[in-house]
Structure 1
Amino acid sequence: MACGDFQGLVLKGVTKLNCKELGRGAYGRVYAVKYCGTICAAKEIHSILIEEARDEEMQRTVESFMRECCQCSVLRHPNVIQFLGVCYTYAYGAGRGVQGRMRLPVMIMEMMADSLTSLVDKHEKIPYNLKFSIVYDVSLGLCYLHNHDPPIVHRDLSPNNVLLTAHHVAKISDLGVAKVIKADSRKTMTKAPGTVDFMPPETLDETPVYGPPVDVFAFAGIVLHTFNQQWPYSSKQVQFDPITRKRVALSEVERRQQYLDKMRGGEAEVLRPLVEECLDDDAAMRPNITVVCEKIQVSKDNYMKGLPQDIITLHQQVQQLKSETREQKFEINQLKFEVDQLKKQLSSTRNVRTQQVASQQSNCRTKMMIEAPPLMQALTSGRYHIKWTQLASLPAPGYGVVVTVKEKKVYVVVGTTPVDEAKHQVYAYDINTGHWEQLPPSGHYCGVPHIIGGKLAIIGGRLSSTNERTNKVSTFDETSQTWTSYYPDLLSVRNRPGVVTHLEHVIVAGGAKSHGSTPVIQDDIEVLNWIENSHWRKVSTYLPMPMVHFTPILTDKHLLIVGYNDADNVRNKTVYKIPVDDITRPRDQQQSTDTSTKWIKMTDATHWYTALVPNSSPPVIVGGSDQNGIATSDIKMYDDSSKSWKKVALLTSARSYVAVAAVSNNTIIVIGGLTKGKSIGNAKASSITTVELGQAQITLTN
């Protein structure tokens, strides 16, 4: 969206409230407005910058403000101030009269209760858990900005620009001087726009340099301000050495030593080494904001462990109440969903009865679709059988296909193909119409498609522009046909992770990250509560080993994993499971049991490159190949009594490395795959065929 083009962002019915100013800065003032019955904050340009400016100066000021609106409109994160839209007001230029008035944009944002500066000034002693929470929130917001594509540097981060909700959730605001740092652009800019006590040395040169380390330095000042509850004024840049009788330059750590000393011996002691790293004179030596996030979270967890037991118990009770509230919200949404499904089922049943009457009248015996029991019951029942139907051919031949389903739409990401142009494209197949649609590129490939809160998202993968592994979570907007940052990005970069949803939680596990030019396979797990739209959090449970390129499923309240590459890039067919509650419950409620004892190792699958059927209970695997590379068409179910896999049905053809998705409780689809070829690594283009998108349905037999 070009600056000044606010199509779709203009809000109607914004009413200005008669109350005092909420705040003001160098470029604008903030006041309260009402929009759709909600009190919001409005930011507009200072009238003095417009009314007494020449035409070209006024135009530059307005364009700068428009750029801020455009930049804020694409940001979505719980720790960055939420942009709602724009409305318009009018201003008059010097000597122009009524005919010379100019239409000016006003930025509408969520209303915040307080600023960090004001909170510190008003309260003599702020609880340490709140201090940890505030600085952690700020680090998460910075992590989102720095990992944005392209990265965004705030350049004026200070306690004045950290705002708080009524529940003390901290959010970064005032991106008026923030800059997008493009990969091919120089980082030198005009003279420093920030708050001097929070500015590192590289911004004070004749040709100041701005990059993510600038914000990391300012973040250290915010930590000092929050924990000491004092503004961290920097001391003089030089001091007199009585021995050498010369002036000696002070480091940035030495200039703030009095505030660092105040963190010694207390709960804030754990953060002091991190603050000193962030204050390093050399920008290259300051830690990445992602590392800062992780260290603060560890410090916060360690602080909670050191609290008296009665405080911990009260904290756990609060978290339990929050959890129960989330469950109630989910149950309400689930009930609404079930009502919609019953309406659709009623309509479908009426259509089936109409077809049955027509069939009887024509004296044709047909196999009628019924409201079948779940797929797994049908596979073990003698009254039902599996009928395969070819729905369509893939838009491009390939293997490494990843798939997800939303109602009657199947979203497919084609992996490796003999046709370069088709590699890693995103396609949508409409089961009702039988048509394929190619979606616009998401900006990162090798990511995993998944439905989060009814929205299609691509999670992780590699950036198309640089081929670097990424932590992006891109969400597809069906109205505008574009990819947006609706949900927050992951805490860590992940290429080809495992993804699954349980109630309101999205679980992302494993995947590959970069270590120089060498990929490193991960074993950690992140969880997002998409109903609350909160940030991702890492859990204390880890995978049984580092894994990449796998698809976990849920079965009987357990997370199940089969078929993955380990850290040595060796394909494995071991089957593991774990109670999903061990992953989704809040970190402070998880038991301290060692991760290795939580995972249950089941009997190995009979083939490599096999796929799990989502929500199958007991578990069902599809296809695969043996150690000689011979593909199978077997569909096998796990028999818990014999601890073995038993064949229950067959695919239409032998194939391995397929994608499987569940359309309903009696329908699955099997997509793509290799019809021959020993492994992915040595598969030739000639061994890849255009495999149909096949649908298996349960039909009643005579």
Structure 2
Amino acid sequence: MEGSVDYEGAALHTCTINNLQMGDYLHDYKGANSSITSRIKMAKWEGLQVVVKEIIIDTTEQEILTLKANFMRECKRMSCLNHPNLVCFLGVCFPCGNQVPSLVMEHLHCNLKQLLEMNEVIPLEIKMRIVHGVGLGLRYLHSQDPPIVHKYLSSTKILVSESIGVKIAHLNTARFIDHVGTNSLSSDFSPPERLSANNVGRKVDIFSFGCVIIHTLSHQWPTPSQNMVNSNDLSEAYSCSEIERRSQYLDKIPKSVEDVMVPLISNCLENVPVDRPTAEEVCDQLETLVANRQSTLPDNLLQAQLRLQEVLLQVENQTAELDKTRTKLVKKTSELQEQNSKVDSLNLEKEMARLQVNLHQELANYYLQTSKSSKKFWNTLKLTWSHCTDLPGKRWVHTIALLHDRIYLGVVDSGASYCDPLVYDVITNCWDVLPPLPYAKFSLVAVPDKHQLLAIGGFTKNYDDLVISDEVFLWDEKYAKWSTPYPNMPTGRCVSSAIAYQSEVIVAGGITCLEPQTLTRAVEVLYIDDINISNSQWRAVERLPHVVSEPVPLIIGDTLYIAVGSDNKIGASTCSVVAASLPELLQNSCNAQYSGQVWNKLPDMPYASFSVNHYHGQLVIFSGDCMVEQPDEDKPIWELLSLMHIYNPDTKAWDYVGNVPRDYYLGRSVKIGEDKFIFIGGMAGKHNVSNVDDLLTTCTVLTISE
């Protein structure tokens, strides 16, 4: 024994490090055997930041000799290991008064647990790179002859460099301390076989690695849901599935890698060690997945960083120019104040006013150039109106849809009787009449993804027997007829909000009963499968915040806006707007009640009975009406407005843009280009559909330019 110790001690001196400059004390590690402590200190060696691990032993002389022999044997073996995913063993030093040499290791930025806690959002590509790096380190350890088993692998024993490189640490200390006493079994990364000190092999590390994968991908520490059975009988420990104990974290695995990573984690967490894969098999699966996800993330990040620096430089230069202008104005103002004795008070006020106007103009020009995309100064837009065609007769348009350069209308004639649907071809500038529908006040919906036009809901045209419809009609262009292939709505309604998003039709609000009039908050969605009609079905999603009549829907990007001309009665004087994220709304089908989490309320619009659209991603309303209080009258009067407003998300207010050529009420508009809209119909009178003179037949094109 003594000869062996002397030989290994002599060999160890070949990697002895001198001239260490000891630094701050960090912390202590104490194993289950309280007589052994690992003390961590910072140090500098040849200009490098390193970590020194002192092994402090408080036990009998015989045990110290045994531990010293084991420690030297482990250090010699560690000095032969060389892998980019293992913390580099630099050598040993011999501090005064300590019977066991101290380890000198490379210093890294933080451990994996700290990295996840400090960064709530980490790109999936980086997470996969971390998992792959740990796997490569394990594969190297397990491939040694004889294999090296870490035994205590967890997120705290994986260190991370500033370049997000990962390295397995605490290997030598863990193995050394393990020679005396049994380590604690309370670790959330420990497999069932750790209950027996004699049943430890490479598959222990594979189990711990599975827990590391869960922690890395889910951002949650993988604490088991039940306590491990505290017994040396392994059959009792195996009675509880380890993957079930951590199943609550599997839902947090990113969907894009779920199909591969969840089965891999399940295999690593098998209760029986022989059922777990080897490190080689794990790395084979990870290498394929990581290779597919490499993409150009570093290049994209670099490009984004360079672009950000360029933008910041531009903003800095423009800010400097603005500061120069302000300095000139302040200087000029000071000069004027100094000349106050020479200039009369009136002229001074005029000059100050002129300078103030100049300052505002400078600011406006600056923000207009640097923030054109946000359209903060809407009054700089130029509105051009031009006549394009006329409606075939005086008719009130109650619903409109655009599908492939064709505008479809639901109309009412001058006698308030319901007419057949109309279609206007924007390219040929021609009108046509579609076959009649059995209902009036239906909602037209264009579904571009399916090249379909739907008519939803409405009520019977027979005034003696008014019935609300729940039917869905599909326009067959080939045979020029209406059909009903899709299931009926769960809630029959008329004058509702209906709009398409990809392959789904969203119907919200409306009237469910005419006598007495009953409004609804229900929002229902039809999934359209034109290949297999039987798959098409309705489902309810979260309700609107309040009941609505004659709502107007609009989709901008992935946000659904519903503008409401009246909250609980037709003819309200203001108009509210609610908005919801479509992915969030459509995924919330499990609860159709109102939670207050999905729908958000925008500030009220300045008038009701409007036409709504969007311009460069911002909500726009045209014309409408408003109740005006009369000082000498008991009741307010209705005033028609010929205005255009746009919603400014920065100020959360409606900004005035310009005037509409003439007052009209209940007109409809569609967007036919990036900067072009067509306005059809409407009323110039005040709430009298039967008045022929009030109905407008003109179709006007609006072009917006800067």
What TM-score bracket applies, with the shorter chain setting the length?
0.3 to 0.5
Please give the TM-score of this superposition, normalised by the length of structure 1. 0.43
Higher relative contact order (CA 8 A, sep 6+): 1
Which has the larger helix fraction? Answer: 2
Which protein is bigger by CA-based radius of gyration? 2
